[in-house]
Copies of this chain bind each other. A is one copy, B any other.
Amino acid sequence: SRGAPVFSSKDGNFTFKPRGRILADISSTSGSDYDRRNITVSTLRQFRFGGVGTVGDHLFYQFEADFRRNSVEVVNTFLGYKTKFGKVNADIRAGNLITDRGIDIGTAATANPFITTNINTIALATQGGRAYLMGIAARAGQKNWHWSVAVHGDALDSDFTRNDHRMFLSRAHWNPVLTDKAIVHVGGWAYSEHIPAATASVSVNQFISGALNNSVQVNVATLNGATGSKAFGVEFGGVYGPVYAFSEYGERHVKGGPAAAFDTAKFKTLSVNGGFWLTGEKPTYTSVSGTYVAPKVLNPITEGGSGGIELVARYEHQDSSGAPLGGTGWAATAGVNWYLTNYFRLMLDGIHWETNNLTGSYLGKDSGNTIAARAEVAF
C-alpha cells in the first residue's frame, strides 16, 4: 500500500487516510509542418489532494480535488456501502464517480504505464469529454471478474437551470485464465446517453500527442443539435511472465435531432499497448477491476536498490471520418518508466504522430514527434 499512514478513531469505527499526487510534466514537439504545433510546454499534469476512509464495516467514502490548472476539478468524491454475498464483493456508491468505461480510464494516472491515458479515455466520452460524472454506480465482482452498472448525470458545475445529461453505463470483465504466470482479460462496456435540448453545441476534438499539446488534435466540425449518443467498447489482452499487452476498441454514434445538420456522427477509436519489466517485477494488471495498479518494486531505492524499470509501447488510432468534416490520426509511443519506489516514478515517452484534418487550423496530412517527461509522486 501507499506510504501515507491510516488514522483511526479510538473505537476503530472511523478511518481516514490522506491521499495526494504530484505529476510534474514537460512536453516538446517538433517536425510538424505547422510552426504553431512545434511547442514546448511544462505544467503540473495533476496535483491532487484528498482522502479515503471507512465508517464501520460497510460505509466508505473518498474525496479528491485536482488543482493542476490553478483551478479546481473535483475528481473521485463519493460515499458508498459495501457488503458480501457469499464470495462476491458488492458495493454501491453515489457522488462524483469515474465512468467505468475501459482499462485505462479506470487506472489511476500514477499507475498508467504511459504519461497520457490512451485515446479511448476522452474520445469515447459523453458530450463534454469528461471522465468523471455525478452518478450512482453498483458493482459486483470476485477475483476474476467484475460487473458494474451506473446512471450518471452531468459533471459538477453551477448550472441549476436545465436538465442534467443522462447516461446509462455498464461494464464487465472476465479472466478465463488467471494463474501466477498467465492472465487473459476479456471485457466490454456500453452506454446510452440522452442530451437535453438546452445543451450548447460541443466540439469533439481529440488530442493525439499527449495532453500538453492542444494544437495536435484530430478535429471534427462542431456538432449542433445532438439529442444523444450510443457507444460501446471491447477489451482484450493479457499477461505472460514479465510481459503484458492489452487492447481497447470502441465506437461512439452521436444522433442528430431535428435541428441537426447530420443524422449520425461516428467515432472509432483503437488503442493497443504492451510492456515488459526489465527488472523482473510482475506486470501491474489487477484482475479485481480489470485495470492497472501500482507495482511492487523489488529493489526500491529506499532499501538501497536501484528501483524498477519498465519498457512500454503503444499504438493509437482515431477515425472521426464518420462525422461531419471529421479527420483521422494515429500515434505510436515508446517509453521507459523508472520506479524509484512503488510511488515515486520518472517517465520518458517518445511519440510519433500523424493527423489528417478537414477542418480547424491544421489541414491535411501532417506529422511530428513529441518528447514527454514526467517526475511523479503519490501518497
Contacts and interface: CB of A to CB of B under 8 A. Distances in A.
Contacts of A213: 160-161
Interface in A57-100: 57-59, 61, 63, 65, 67-74, 77-79, 94-96
Interface in A3-57: 3-5, 7-10, 13-14, 16, 18, 20, 22, 24, 26, 36, 39-44, 47, 49-51, 53, 55-57
A251 to B, nearest CB: 27
A5 B53 CA distance: 12
Contacts of A40: 153, 163-164
A71 B70 CA distance: 8
Contacts of A164: 40-42
Contact of A95 (B44, B134, B135): B44
Given A9-B4, A63-B20, A95-B44, A161 B214 contact: yes
A180 interface: no
A376 interface: yes
A168 interface: no
A379 interface: yes
Interface stretch (A255-263, A279-287, A317-325, A337-345): A337-345
A301 interface: yes
Contacts of A13: 3, 302, 341
Nearest to A53: B379
Contact of A156 (B14, B26, B68, B95): B68
Contacts of A377: 55, 59, 61, 79
Contacts of A157: 43, 69-70
A37 to B, nearest CB: 9
Interface in A237-268: none
A43 B341 contact: no
Contact of A344 (B9, B47, B79, B376): B79
A375 interface: yes
A104 interface: no
Given A94-B24, A341-B56, A42 B79 contact: no
B341 A59 contact: yes
Interface string A160-191: 11111000000000000000000000000000
Interface in A288-324: 300-302
Contacts of A7: 4-5, 7
Q: Which 3 A-B pairs have the closest CB atoms?
A: A3-B14, A56-B302, A42-B153
Interface of A: 2-5, 7-10, 13-14, 16, 18, 20, 22, 24, 26, 36, 39-44, 47, 49-51, 53, 55-59, 61, 63, 65, 67-74, 77-79, 94-96, 134-135, 153-158, 160-164, 198, 211-215, 300-302, 340-341, 343-344, 375-377, 379
26 contacts: A3-B9, A4-B16, A5-B14, A5-B16, A18-B51, A20-B51, A22-B63, A40-B153, A40-B163, A41-B154, A41-B164, A47-B65, A53-B379, A55-B344, A56-B341, A59-B341, A59-B377, A67-B74, A70-B72, A70-B74, A70-B155, A70-B157, A79-B377, A160-B214, A161-B213, A161-B214
